[in-house]
């Protein structure tokens, strides 16, 4: 796939180690320290760790955005489903509070995704009456 | 509006029309908190600029897309603006439509990107 915006393809800290003079196509996750390859199945670029789903706040979507250099840790807050059925992770920056929605990748940790999706349903304050009405 | 953002003890009769369903909504919820979305359809309007902290020029409709549960156990509604794509998160109110809240909560599990059978009982 052509690179439309190289900045968005480096969501986390790029490793500075080089092999054969080429920059390493991997980053170290700011959440779990896993070394993650940039190439992800099913998406043009990776924007979060496939193991713990953590991301890094480096989006330059808004030119001149004063938070563009935030580099805060973005935790997976919840999931949502697009009209076409695809899951998105809602990430929440722990430094500046920014929210972003990101497509899941083919090798994302299914159990971690499921735990986030289950959060509202495992709440003890669940509105049971509403659930029974479904 | 209370200047310090805290709920007022006096009765606030301010209302706004819902941009989606047209319901006349009281700006103050029964618990005294300030509403930002319609309790019936849960839609909102993009009226606050998150970056500048003041009013937004956008004023477009915001769709509820997700329920987030905070560490405190509080439920938040994630809204996405239909025009500019901005995402916001706001606490639910006591009289928010529980059927829509629950539908939003179960929707991802009704359309899983992987077979749920593999996980057995969670
Ligand atoms: Zn990680
Ligand atoms: Zn940030
Ligand atoms: Zn409404
Ligand atoms: Zn907007």
Q: Is the ipTM of this complex over 0.90?
A: no
pLDDT at residue A57 tops 50: yes
Residue A116 in 3-state DSSP?
helix
Instruction: Tell whether B6 is covered by a domain.
Output: no
pLDDT tens per residue across span B3-33: 555 555 555 689 999 999 999 999 999 888 8
Going by pLDDT thresholds of 50, 70 and 90, the confidence category of residue A41 is confident
pLDDT at residue B120 tops 80: no
Instruction: Tell whether A133 is covered by a domain.
Output: no
Q: B89: which chain A residues are within 8 Å (Cβ-Cβ)?
A: 77, 92, 99
Instruction: Tell whether B38 is covered by a domain.
Output: yes
Instruction: Tell whether B37 is covered by a domain.
Output: yes
Instruction: Tell whether B95 is covered by a domain.
Output: yes
Instruction: Tell whether B36 is covered by a domain.
Output: yes
The pLDDT value given to residue A60: 54
Instruction: Tell whether A47 is covered by a domain.
Output: yes
Q: B75: which chain A residues are within 8 Å (Cβ-Cβ)?
A: 120, 123
Measured CA to CA, the distance from residue B86 to residue B84 in angstroms comes to 6
Encoding tokens for residue B79?
């809204």
Split into its structural domains, chain A has a count of 1
Measured CA to CA, the distance from residue A113 to residue A13 in angstroms comes to 23
Going by pLDDT thresholds of 50, 70 and 90, the confidence category of residue A130 is low
Residue B88 DSSP one-character state = E
Instruction: Tell whether B2 is covered by a domain.
Output: no
Residue the block writes with tokens 């190289």: A6
In terms of C-beta density within 10 A (0-12 exposed, 13-18 middle, 19 or more buried), how is residue B71 classed?
Answer: exposed
CB B37 within 8 A of CB B77: yes
Q: Which domain holds residue A81?
A: 26-120
Split into its structural domains, chain B has a count of 1
| B109 at A interface, C-beta within 8 A | yes
The pLDDT value given to residue A21: 40
CB B79 within 8 A of CB B100: no
The pLDDT value given to residue B1: 42
Q: A124: which chain B residues are within 8 Å (Cβ-Cβ)?
A: 73
Residue in chain B nearest A101 by alpha carbon: B87
Going by pLDDT thresholds of 50, 70 and 90, the confidence category of residue B38 is very high
Interface test with B, best of A55, A75, A80, A98 (most B CBs within 10 A): A80
Q: How far is the CA of A101 from the centre of ligand 3 (A)?
A: 24
Instruction: Tell whether A115 is covered by a domain.
Output: yes
Instruction: Tell whether A86 is covered by a domain.
Output: yes
Interface test with B, best of A74, A121, A122, A126 (most B CBs within 10 A): A121
Ligand nearest to the CA of B20: 3
Q: Which domain holds residue B99?
A: 15-105
Ligand nearest to the CA of A94: 2
Could A90 and B68 be called an inter-chain contact, meaning their C-beta atoms sit closer than 8 Å? yes
């Amino acid at each position: 796939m052509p690179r439309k915006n190289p900045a968005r393809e480096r969501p986390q800290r790029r490793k500075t180690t080089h092999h054969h003079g080429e920059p390493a196509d991997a980053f170290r996750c700011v959440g779990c320290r896993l070394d993650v390859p940039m190439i992800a199945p099913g998406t043009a670029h990776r924007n979060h760790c496939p193991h713990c789903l953590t991301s890094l706040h480096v989006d330059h979507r808004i030119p001149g955005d004063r938070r563009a250099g935030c580099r805060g840790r973005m935790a997976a807050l919840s999931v949502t489903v697009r009209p076409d059925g695809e899951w998105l992770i809602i990430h929440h920056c722990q430094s500046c509070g920014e929210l972003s929605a990101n497509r899941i990748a083919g090798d994302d940790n299914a159990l971690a995704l499921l735990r986030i999706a289950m959060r509202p349903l495992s709440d003890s304050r669940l509105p049971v009456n509403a659930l029974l009405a479904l | 509006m209370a200047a310090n953002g805290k709920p007022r003890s006096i009765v606030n009769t301010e209302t706004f029309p819902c941009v989606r369903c047209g319901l006349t909504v009281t700006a103050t919820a029964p618990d005294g908190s300030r509403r930002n979305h319609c309790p019936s359809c849960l839609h909102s309007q993009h009226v606050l600029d998150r970056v500048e902290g003041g009013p937004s020029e956008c004023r477009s409709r915001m769709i509820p897309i997700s329920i987030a549960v905070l560490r405190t156990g509080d439920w938040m509604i994630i809204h996405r603006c239909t025009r500019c794509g901005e995402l916001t998160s706001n606490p639910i109110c006591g009289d928010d439509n529980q059927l829509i809240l629950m539908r939003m909560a179960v929707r991802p599990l009704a359309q899983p990107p992987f077979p749920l059978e593999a996980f057995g009982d969670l």
